[in-house]
Structure 1
């Protein structure tokens, strides 16, 4: 979901080596057709046909990278976010069948099988660090991204993925650094993903660039035992869908004791109608981590304070950050051709794709190829910089050439069959995807 085009790719963001799948997951558009077994991946920007199960492939590549860095006597940083467990729930029967035999439904059994495979790979990684004499020189962090997607046990927590309740946003975080971190201890203090960067900077004695403002805090005193507690603070969360967040939608403010939620359960509602007074709930997590009892009526001043903090935070986010995603830069010196994925990277209004926000660096002749199901003749249209360009496509044709100017803005491209209205695909498929290549 971070963007498949320049300058959003890992190799554009500072990684010297990368092995990735595209889009939001293996098998999602434009990464179709694909499979968790022997997946087609991208290695340093080039197509790479892997062999094996996806999680195994990613971990093996990480170990090879670590070995090369060690042999070159160089430090290393490995970011290893696996795509599993995640739908589609593809995993060998030997992993999920034992869980089904214990009475679990097949869906849950497959998720647990994926976790078992992930656990094996983490064990392989830790063993490799031990055997390579790297364990005491390596900080290992394991972090979940969200609660479960499917309905299954959440350890008594309320909600799941996309919900602002604890079952949706509270995840495991494990830290290992033998000889440096306190071992076998649970730290009962709130923290978030925004704390990882300042923590790693502190642990590695890496100075923070003056221009870089960080929202998180350094957790290293808690990990090493230098401190038992950090100063009180509030953490802010908002989980919506789409590119334009709305004030109060599916938000939470979390403190050491209390948690305020607003309009819970409204993820995905891009047309949320706000009420005159925000829909709020307050929970005392110190005695009610499962968020079963709303105590707002007993602590109205606490709710008022946390709501004011949220409003100030949202206003700051809105004024200091651009909510719109970065432009896709079409530049043959960086990426040629560029694949424009309608579903993942298109600009949407009310669920309808209206094109892509791009910057074309160099004027010239471009070959535009569109993924279309219809083999009928019709018109391929490129709407750019306020000018609509048309080329007629015969039966079965899918590409034409256009002279495009340099500039930035909305690039809309579509095919319209003769005698038919324009079709606006809305599904997670490659229909409407475009490959654009600068010819000269």
Structure 2
């Protein structure tokens, strides 16, 4: 951890001003635990209590009935931006984590996570499931305040960052426990919850407070490996009207119904684990004093029911950026409380600090506000505010592109740069069909001005604001650095990002020069007799010819030099050039420190 970050964590002051509330009415005899649960690609209406008549979510329905809920809670259109907002309490455009892959999903390690604030206050911190903010030092969750870590790499199981030994396996997956690769037994969602519940039980037995983040990769694809009994249950249903429109009218075939049955089976499996969670909390005596927060990370990963709205993952219509927020805390929250005020993912950081009574570091600037008064229904009046959400592909954001400004009653959306935005009255037009920008030009101009001010602010957080952070190599905390297609910068010449023939390079910082092993793993073409490898690390270049019976090669004891370097690996088979699948850099001996 850097000196700057240490100062941020150690220096602190109480959150103040209107948005904060006191926790003095909590029962002082017992610490407060926090369990933050977020699912992946589950839409904001994929719940029974949200009107979905096909999904069976009895435990989440009961949680909502016993707890408090914000009806208008917003998240980003896709997962990495939401996770950066959630972990830092800051707009993700301040954190360098702007997209989901090819080097754009790594968070600046100088950012301070909620775990880094809670851990010095005595909290035992754990993450179980999906991180998606960097797989290599110093961006891993264990480098960002989490003491117990059980995660998959990249954006999901079944993506190019998977280790070859368990690629694509939701059942018996290969995960990473505190940095060590581990073969697991069971279904991935069950594994996350089982390990998380054992973690909090161990902490309770020692009277230690717990903060844990359970981030499932379900119901994200791939969809080949799902709970089979539940899949059959949903496939037997008539899902024609499970989408908010008549699917038959869209000329879809049963392939879409099969996919929906798989998604629904993963969601019901999550619901079953929610039931197990509350049973365990009761068993260990932590039911009353544990704040459980539940949300989804973006809209649904395909056409599904989104209430009176429209849209899905990736877009800024309401269906793409709305989540549930259910808060369950018997000590503090009134059962069945529902609040209609707008709030967003970056509000949970200050809310958790207030709930736990942990002080905010003095020099830490947050964009979120404490929304505990809303969950308690204790905010007689609440200031007007605007929420800003944006995402699109690219190495840096483009203004007025797939963006939205949301207020309590109105919403301004922007599709493309140099095109005027559209204004909608969400009270009377929840499906965002009637553009009012010409009827309310003053309001449209004001919201556009607010957006421009916001975009300029977040884009100037650092001088090189959208440059990706570098992967550090040769640090004792990570003896072997694994470079994957998840974190490379796309370079061409063919394909995009993850396709077979794609090319890319990695931006690294070698902390210690000296002797390294470089292992390259690649996919072979059929009937190819020989593969040529060309590896460059800065100015150092290495070449090899690999026989037909091998799809990996190790360059032993090569010398690498300290400092900022670019790694490029070219795999040549006949007339085809492509990038590798994985590259492993292992420090062999002590060398010179980086300048």
TM-score w.r.t. length of structure 1: 0.91
Instruction: State the shift of 1:349 in Å.
Output: 4.7
Deviations 1:189-217 (A, max 9, x none): 11000000011111111111011100001
After superposition, the Cα gap between the structure-2 partners of 1:288 and 1:228, relative to the gap in structure 1 and judged at 3 Å, is farther
1:433 corresponds to: 582
Gaps in structure 1 of 5+ consecutive residues? 265-273, 426-430
User: Are 1:17 and 2:169 matched, yes or no?
Assistant: no
Structure 1 residues 424 and 156 mapped into 2: Cα distance closer, same or farther (>3 Å)?
farther
Aligned to 1:348: 490
1:160 paired to 2:302: no
Structure 2: distance between partners of 1:102 and 1:432: 40
In structure 1, what is the equivalent of residue 578 of structure 2?
A: 424
SS at match of 2:586: strand
How far 1:14 moved relative to its partner? 0.9
RMSD across aligned C-alpha pairs, in angstroms? 1.8
- Compute the displacement of 1:324 (Å): 2.6
Task: Confirm or deny: 8 A CA contact 1:393 1:399 kept in the other structure.
Answer: no
2:571–2:578 Cα contact (<8 Å) kept: no
Question: How many residue pairs were aligned?
Answer: 420
Contact 2:540 2:560 in 1 (8 A): no
Q: CA–CA distance in 1 between the matches of 2:386 and 2:305?
A: 28
CA–CA distance in structure 1, aligned partners of residues 394 and 287 of structure 2: 41
The runs of 5 or more residues in structure 2 that have no matched partner are 1-131, 240-256, 497-501, 590-595
Q: Any conservation in 2 of the 1:370–1:414 contact (CA below 8 Å)?
A: no
Name the SS of the counterpart of 1:85 in structure 2.
Answer: coil
CA contact (8 A) 1:34 1:40 kept: no
Q: Distance in 2 between matches of 1:223 and 1:300?
A: 35
User: Quick check: 1:62 aligned with 2:204?
Assistant: no
* Equivalent residue runs for 1:78-89 within 5 Å: 78-89=212-223
Q: Does residue 179 in structure 1 map to residue 331 in structure 2? A: yes
| Partners of 1:83 and 1:223 in 2: CA distance | 27
Are 2:421 and 1:296 equivalent residues in the alignment?
Answer: no
- Provide the C-alpha distance between the structure 2 equivalents of 1:309 and 1:409, rounded to a whole number of angstroms: 40
Which one of the candidate residues 103, 108, 111 is aligned to 2:263?
111
Give per-residue Cα distances to partners, 1:293-332, cap 9 Å, x unaligned: 1111111111111111111111111111422332111124
Name which of structure 1's ranges 254-263 and 348-357 shifts more when overlaid on structure 2: 348-357
Say whether residues 1:334 and 2:469 are aligned partners. no
Task: Give deviations 1:225-283, integer Å, cap 9, x for gaps.
Answer: 3213421111100011243111111000000011101017xxxxxxxxx43xx241111
Contact 1:337 1:435 in 2 (8 A): yes
Q: RCO greater where, 1 or 2, for CA within 8 Å and sep 6 or more?
A: 2
Q: How does 1:349-364 map to 2 (within 5 A)?
A: 349=491, 351=496, 353-364=503-514
What residue is the counterpart of 1:268 in the other structure?
Answer: none
Distance 1:251 1:46, change over 3 A: same
1:179-258 equivalences under 5 Å are: 179-258=331-410
Residue pair 2:172, 2:183 contacting (<8 A) in 1 also: yes
Does the CA-based 8 Å contact 2:572-2:578 persist in structure 1?
Answer: no
Deviations 1:341-389 (A, max 9, x none): 02x100125746431111101111222121223465454333333x251
**CA distance in structure 2 between the partners assigned to 1:189 and 1:102 by the alignment:** 36
Describe the SS at the equivalent of 1:399: strand
Distance 1:409 1:394 in 2: 25
Partner of 2:593: none
- Within the alignment, does 1:369 sit opposite 2:369 as a pair? no
Structure 1 window deviating more from structure 2 (188-197 vs 131-140): it is 131-140
* Equivalence for 1:325: 468
Residue 45 (structure 1) aligned to one of 153, 157, 179: 179
**Equivalent position to 1:406, from 539, 562, 570:** 562
Q: Tell me if structure 1 keeps the 8 A contact 2:168–2:222.
A: no
**Alpha-carbon deviation of 1:183?**
1.8
For residues 378-424 of structure 1, what are the alpha-carbon distances to aligned partners after superposition, in whole Å with 9 as ceiling and x for unaligned?
54333333x2513232424622243110011422222334x645x23
Q: 1:9 Cα shift?
A: 1.1
Q: Is the 8 A contact 1:379 1:390 kept in 2?
A: no
Does residue 131 (structure 1) correspond to residue 266 (structure 2)? The answer is no
| Equivalent residue for 2:535, pick from 366, 382, 396 | 382
| Structure 1 contact 370–415 (Cα < 8 Å) conserved | no
